[in-house]
């Protein structure tokens, strides 16, 4: 599993992370967000998706068509990453978890702003265990209680603790203490009506929860083949990219300057949940400055400006999520 640290983050290891030992203490982990998902998609097609990603903004424009003879009212969800994903062997009370209010999430339907609601559920091994926690009167977002003077186990009896351990809901540490194993999953949801045989436009945008580090691991890839393989697999870096990085790094060092890395993640696979493929897919990635380097896994990439790279696809069915590496000089 890839691992990277987030400064004073519970040291939660995210599934998108790089090795902890590689980075300095001022590293931060990115939380990969994505697009909209639909609970009912049998008759609704995604005619187009126009996706723009930078370190400051993610904007997604869709066109959806209800191909049935009846209006369809269904729940549209924007899922956020569960917190925490899993644990390392230590548990810290000094937390630096993402604040989802910082997303500044907005959605327009046919040009009009719409409201939404947040739903928080408990998740363990991909299963919703919210009702189990309600039975024991346990908090879903137990991490939020750290540092408040309250504890997730305040209402739990000794007998109930034994039940929770047997069900795998608790993890025991070397000092004999326990911590929950479940994650808090937040989703932004709304009810949306798709009129029969009509196409509607949906635009949503937010500030990405980017990760990054001052310095980084690119300088170590020649000596660390395992790490080099992880970068290659995750970001599809190649010899041309590495040669460009080494040249830019040497020039920066000569000026007593250094580089930093920005990591962006986007959950792209949810775009395959609709009726049929995405008919027209357009991706734009902006690396920020002409001096920066960028790498990500996608074929058909064309450089269209000093900072932008674009991809156009017909009948696109995404099979993997998108990870983006930006090297800042």
| Alpha-carbon span 272 to 249, nearest angstrom | 39
| Alpha-carbon span 111 to 114, nearest angstrom | 9
| Alpha-carbon span 40 to 74, nearest angstrom | 6
Q: By the 8 A CB rule, do 30 and 211 touch?
A: yes
Confidence class for position 13, pLDDT limits 50, 70, 90: very low
Q: What is the mean pLDDT of residues 2-20?
A: 28
Q: Please state whether the peptide bond connecting residue 84 to the residue before it is cis, i.e. omega within 30 degrees of 0.
A: yes
Does 78 map to a domain? yes
User: At residue 18, does pLDDT exceed 50?
Assistant: no
* Least confident interval from 75-84, 114-123, 145-154: 75-84
Does 173 map to a domain? no
CATH number at residue 288: 2.60.40.3680
Beta strands 178-180; 322-328: pairing state: unpaired
Domain count, the chain: 1
User: At residue 22, does pLDDT exceed 60?
Assistant: no
pLDDT at 166: 87
User: Long-range contacts of range 291-295, CB-CB < 8 Å, 24 or more positions apart?
Assistant: 291/248, 291/329, 292/326, 292/327, 292/328, 292/329, 293/241, 293/244, 293/245, 293/248, 293/326, 293/327, 293/329, 294/324, 294/325, 294/326, 294/327, 295/235, 295/236, 295/237, 295/238, 295/241, 295/324, 295/325
Burial of 263 (0-12, 13-18, 19+ CB in 10 A): buried
Does 144 map to a domain? no
Q: What percent of the chain has a predicted confidence (pLDDT) above 90?
A: 31
pLDDT at 24: 29
Does 206 map to a domain? yes
pLDDT at 97: 61
User: At residue 125, does pLDDT exceed 90?
Assistant: no
Does 171 map to a domain? no
pLDDT at 295: 96
Q: What is the mean pLDDT of residues 28-42?
A: 59
Task: Say which residue, 115 or 53, is predicted with more confidence.
Answer: 53
pLDDT at 200: 94
pLDDT at 25: 28
Instruction: Report the predicted TM-score, pTM, of the whole model to 2 decimal places.
Output: 0.76
Query: C-alpha 306: how far from its chain's center?
Result: 27
pLDDT at 222: 84
Residue 153 region by backbone torsions, left for phi larger than 0, else alpha for psi between -120 and 50, else beta: alpha
User: At residue 12, does pLDDT exceed 50?
Assistant: no
Eight-class DSSP state of 304: -
| Alpha-carbon span 287 to 264, nearest angstrom | 11
List residues bridging with 325 in a β-sheet. Answer: 263, 295
* Least confident interval from 40-54, 55-69, 73-87: 73-87
Does 139 map to a domain? no
Nearest to 263 by CA among 29, 2, 23: 29
Task: Say which residue, 233 or 74, is predicted with more confidence.
Answer: 233
Residue 24: other Cβ atoms inside 10 A: 11
Structure tokens at 21: 């030992």
Q: By the 8 A CB rule, do 111 and 201 touch?
A: yes
Task: Say which residue, 91 or 48, is predicted with more confidence.
Answer: 48
Task: Say which residue, 219 or 173, is predicted with more confidence.
Answer: 219
pLDDT at 38: 61
Task: Say which residue, 285 or 27, is predicted with more confidence.
Answer: 285
pLDDT at 3: 26
User: At residue 48, does pLDDT exceed 80?
Assistant: yes
Burial of 307 (0-12, 13-18, 19+ CB in 10 A): middle
Residue 130 to residues 137, 140, 173, 248, 302, Cα–Cα distance (Å): 10, 7, 24, 50, 45
Full domain range(s) for residue 272: 21-129+182-328
The alpha carbon dihedral of 303, 305, 309, 315 has a sign of negative
Does 146 map to a domain? no
Q: What is the mean pLDDT of residues 140-144?
A: 80
Does 9 map to a domain? no
């Amino acid at each position: 599993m890839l691992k990277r640290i987030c400064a004073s983050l519970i040291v939660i290891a995210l599934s998108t992370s790089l090795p902890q030992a590689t980075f300095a203490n001022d590293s931060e982990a990115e939380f990969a967000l994505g697009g909209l998902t639909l609970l009912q998609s049998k008759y609704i097609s995604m005619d187009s998706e126009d996706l723009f990603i930078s370190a400051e903004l993610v904007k997604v424009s869709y066109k959806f068509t209800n191909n049935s003879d009846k209006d369809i009212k269904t729940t549209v969800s924007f899922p956020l990453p569960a917190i925490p994903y899993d644990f390392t062997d230590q548990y810290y009370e000094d937390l630096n978890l993402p604040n989802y209010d910082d997303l500044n999430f907005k959605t327009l339907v046919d040009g009009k702003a719409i409201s939404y609601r947040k739903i928080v559920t408990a998740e363990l091994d991909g299963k919703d265990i919210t009702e189990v926690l309600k039975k024991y009167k346990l908090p879903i977002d137990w991490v939020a209680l750290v540092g408040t003077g309250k504890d997730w186990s305040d209402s739990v009896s000794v007998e109930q603790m034994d039940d929770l351990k047997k069900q795998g809901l608790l993890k025991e540490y070397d000092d004999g203490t326990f911590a929950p194993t479940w994650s808090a999953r937040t989703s932004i949801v709304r009810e949306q009506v798709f009129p029969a045989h009509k196409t509607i436009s949906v635009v949503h945008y937010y500030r990405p929860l980017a990760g990054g580090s001052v310095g980084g691991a690119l300088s170590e890839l020649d000596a660390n083949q395992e790490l080099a393989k992880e970068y290659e697999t995750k970001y599809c870096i190649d010899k041309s990219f590495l040669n460009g990085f080494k040249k830019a790094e040497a020039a920066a060092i000569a000026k007593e300057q250094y580089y930093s890395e920005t990591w962006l993640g986007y959950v792209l696979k949810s775009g395959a949940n609709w009726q049929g493929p995405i008919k027209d897919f357009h991706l734009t990635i902006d690396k920020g400055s002409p001096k920066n380097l960028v790498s990500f896994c996608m074929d058909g990439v064309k450089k269209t400006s000093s900072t932008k790279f674009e991809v156009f696809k017909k009948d696109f069915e995404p099979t993997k999520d998108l990870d983006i590496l930006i090297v800042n000089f």
